[in-house]
Structure 1
Amino acid sequence: MRKLLRAYKVEIKPTHKQIEKINQSIGVCRWLYNHYLFTNSQLYSQYKEGFIDKKESFISANDFDKYINNKVKCLEKYSWINNCGSKARKKAIQNAETAYKRFFNGQCKFPRFKKKKNDDIKLYFPKNNKGDWKVDRHRIMIPTLKNVRLKEYGYIPVGAKVISGTVSKKYNRYYVSVIIDTDWTIPSGEYTEGIGIDLGVKDLAICSNKQKFKNINKTQKIRKLEKKLKNEQKRLSRKYESLKLRNKNKKGDATRQNIQKQIVKVQSIHQRLTNIRTDYINKTIYEIVKQKPRYITIEDLNVNGMMKNRHLSKAVVQQKLYEFRNKLNYKCNLFGIELRIVDRFYPSSKLCNNCGSIKSDLKLKDRIYKCHCGYVEDRDYNASLNLKDAKIYKIA
């Protein structure tokens, strides 16, 4: 038995007053995030022009929080900042500082300003008092929001020890995510032999034990939703064009309301597609991990390089390969399975599993691997066998 931090995310059903409070708090956090980035970019441009010293070209999250508390929110026109809790405000500023520093360290691009329509701001609440984050079967006690009803009863363990949590909004639906300190015991049972997994675009995963997981994006259900999404996006585009033509008309407000309704329709279809793909990945990983192999070997795919191919980029995004690897790593840690990562330049597809020779002229259209030694096998299955037998790898 060991101590383990686990995350649980579930949809909530807040009241009208709680929805108003959440929306106000999200708006405040979004404004603070954008204002912090704007302030630092202005200071940096002044430093580049030689108006200020280098030490003055950056304001930290703590200093910016003090500036907001002492000089900004005390003004009458900025009194709405008090509608949001202090911890959530400070966390939003800290997130902006982290994104800003990552840009200067060369780890990412310059952080984008948050937009209202994207709903990508989360409200952070730590556990400061005993009454905070009290979990019941049908409700949860959230700081500043009090008791909020859960849509899925019993998913979060009743009486769990919550460390912290966040409240988020996505496509007019509200969610709570909590981090719980639990005692975890690795499931008992004998380990079987290792498994090699070849991830791809044609099929999601081909395993060395002859398990095959299809590409769910080729199913009729997904294709119908994508067709519906395309039609709804066309309607939204036409509404925007109509608004431009009638911008000074009295019917402008009604048109904007119709646009907002259409945006929600498009967002709901996007969410539906995301939920189906994520659910399929979760079930696929569980099917693999529940067999309790001694190790699982996958290849370190160059997803960014694959995205540069305009013929494959959409299919690569829909497969969610990066999410698959992250969730597989998490499940392997829970079940005590060793996850091996093979270098991306390892010739898993070109290597013959029978004689060990490399077929350098193998093309992407060749789906059957044929070796001069007489070995004939499916290309992806041969790659999974090679990954299983790989001797050089890294532990995730």
Structure 2
Amino acid sequence: MAQHVKRAFKYRFYPTDEQAAALSRTFGCVRLVYNLALEERTHAWYGEQRRVSYLQSSAALTEWKKTEELAFLAEVSSVPLQQALRHLQTAFGSFFAKRSKYPRYKSRKKSRASAEYTRSAFTWRDGRLTLAKMTTPLEICWSRPLPEGAEPTTVTVSRDSAGRWFVSLLCEDTIAPAPATGTAVGIDAGITSLVTLSTGEKITNPRHERRDRGRMAKAQRELSRKAKGSNNRERARRKVARVHARIADRRRDFLHKLTTRLVRENQTVVIEDLTVRNLIKNHTLARAISDAAWTELRSMLEYKCAWYGRELVVVDRWFASSKLCGACGTICGKLPLNVREWTCDCGSVHDRDVNAARNILAAGLAASACGDGVRPQRESSRTGRSSVKQEAQRVTAGIHRL
């Protein structure tokens, strides 16, 4: 059955000097309002043990506009300022629910420059977008068309550290499920091979950061020689940012193509529950693990499987996928990372990654069909933790995710 979801379509655009100045002014006002409201809430909570609601912050914003020092807030659209207060309310809601840390102030240099416009603050007519307080539409590069008949409900304008301008259009979209295939695949994530499939196929890690490491080092050396606060330093900083953007864009493009292919070709996808946050504490492998972007890979698999009617099974992080012999079920005692091929006592010779992918597939299918306990347990199973798990389904922001 087709799903109706909200999708954001992101495009690059090239503003005129007048539009760039207006948007930059809006970004600054959004950041200022967010920080002022956060400061007010902080003083109220730690000084009076009193919570400040969104309505109280909105009323305070109206009073700020009447003061001589903050009268310039009335020069920009009021909608992005109100949206900043809503985002702060969401941040505090997550904090009080213990889902995140206490909200932090937005930095002029480090925070993302963005402004969010709801339907009342922009005009969408014949494929042309005009924001509030502007007389001309944005010059958008339509790299792909919007869904037929779709109209944006929310528009987010942003500028990255490399000076590029982007507009994100949130639209209602209908996604048809992919044809059933009846096949399943187990995936073992790695560094030399980004993923190894249970079919025996190994997909080489492109190592985008490593390939541009020389260019990055040169740009950073040039930046370090420039005087702080000078225009030359700002130009050098943008060169560094452009290298970072190039790496991130290429990595994201590769992961999108890989995950789309895996989801289209397989009905069931089984992956391992890796704790990347703990793995990058290994300073020898931290840079390579970060470049592999396993977390982003899993995130893409999650929402694409939900969109196209696939099943995503996640194997517990303590399941001994590499040490387990896929032929006899014996668990190898020690298996250092430098050992890429090993021989079991039963005589079976295993490629470490391929064997892990096949064990992950078998464990995932067993957990999905019969529950835990089908595959051999790890030695420390007496602790009571299950060796295999399947994530429960939840609904987030209108998108079904596993």
For the criterion TM > 0.5, the same-fold answer is yes
**Counterpart-to-counterpart distance in 2, 1:206 and 1:36:** 49
- The structural deviation recorded for 1:17 is 1.5
More off after superposition, 295-304 vs 229-238: 229-238
Taking the TM superposition and a 5 Å limit, the aligned residue runs for 1:306-321 are 306-321=279-294
Matched to 2:30, the amino acid is: C
**Counterpart-to-counterpart distance in 2, 1:28 and 1:301:** 40
Q: Does structure 2 retain, via aligned residues, the 8 Å contact 1:135–1:156?
A: no
**Counterpart-to-counterpart distance in 2, 1:134 and 1:154:** 18
Is 1:205 equivalent to 2:201 in the alignment?
A: no
Matched to 1:163, the amino acid is: T
Is 1:88 equivalent to 2:61 in the alignment?
A: no
Cα 1:3–1:381, aligned 2, differ >3 Å: closer, same or farther?
same
Is 1:277 equivalent to 2:256 in the alignment?
A: no
**Counterpart-to-counterpart distance in 2, 1:203 and 1:354:** 23
Taking the TM superposition and a 5 Å limit, the aligned residue runs for 1:137-148 are 139-145=128-134, 147-148=137-138
Q: Does structure 2 retain, via aligned residues, the 8 Å contact 1:297–1:340?
A: yes
Taking the TM superposition and a 5 Å limit, the aligned residue runs for 1:150-165 are 150-157=140-147, 159-165=149-155
Q: Does structure 2 retain, via aligned residues, the 8 Å contact 1:134–1:142?
A: no
- Structure 2 match to 1:6: 7
Cα 1:201–1:121, aligned 2, differ >3 Å: closer, same or farther?
same
**Counterpart-to-counterpart distance in 2, 1:210 and 1:179:** 39
**Counterpart-to-counterpart distance in 2, 1:125 and 1:194:** 42
> Which TM-score applies when normalising by structure 2?
0.85
**Counterpart-to-counterpart distance in 2, 1:297 and 1:368:** 22
- Structure 2 match to 1:266: 240
CA deviations over 1:55-98 (Å, ceiling 9, x no partner) = x2x322321121111x2111122121123322211111222233
**Counterpart-to-counterpart distance in 2, 1:61 and 1:78:** 20
Structure 1 residue ranges without an equivalent (≥5): 47-51, 244-254
- The structural deviation recorded for 1:301 is 0.5
CA deviations over 1:264-288 (Å, ceiling 9, x no partner) = 1111111111111111111111221
Structure 2 residue ranges without an equivalent (≥5): 368-388, 392-401
Q: Does structure 2 retain, via aligned residues, the 8 Å contact 1:161–1:182?
A: no
**Counterpart-to-counterpart distance in 2, 1:35 and 1:286:** 43
CA deviations over 1:257-316 (Å, ceiling 9, x no partner) = 11211111111111111111111111111221221x120000111111102111122222
Among candidates 380, 388, 394, match of residue 390 of structure 2: 394
Matched to 2:361, the amino acid is: K
- Structure 1 match to 2:55: 62
Taking the TM superposition and a 5 Å limit, the aligned residue runs for 1:7-156 are 7-46=8-47, 52=48, 54=49, 56=50, 58-69=51-62, 71-128=63-120, 132-134=123-125, 136=127, 139-145=128-134, 147-156=137-146
**Counterpart-to-counterpart distance in 2, 1:341 and 1:83:** 51
Among candidates 166, 175, 193, match of residue 166 of structure 2: 175
CA deviations over 1:186-230 (Å, ceiling 9, x no partner) = 233x4132000011223211111222221111x6xx545221212
Q: How many residues align structurally?
A: 366
- Structure 1 match to 2:322: 349
Q: CA RMSD in A?
A: 2.2
Cα 1:135–1:154, aligned 2, differ >3 Å: closer, same or farther?
farther
Aligned with 2:350: secondary structure? strand
Among candidates 191, 194, 210, match of residue 184 of structure 2: 194
Cα 1:192–1:141, aligned 2, differ >3 Å: closer, same or farther?
farther
Q: Does structure 2 retain, via aligned residues, the 8 Å contact 1:169–1:175?
A: yes
**Counterpart-to-counterpart distance in 2, 1:260 and 1:376:** 57
- Structure 1 match to 2:264: 290
**Counterpart-to-counterpart distance in 1, 2:224 and 2:97:** 38
Cα 1:351–1:142, aligned 2, differ >3 Å: closer, same or farther?
farther
**Counterpart-to-counterpart distance in 1, 2:283 and 2:8:** 36
- Structure 1 match to 2:219: 232
- The structural deviation recorded for 1:105 is 4.0
**Counterpart-to-counterpart distance in 2, 1:256 and 1:181:** 45
- The structural deviation recorded for 1:43 is 3.1
**Counterpart-to-counterpart distance in 1, 2:316 and 2:126:** 44
Aligned with 1:290: secondary structure? helix
- Structure 1 match to 2:354: 381
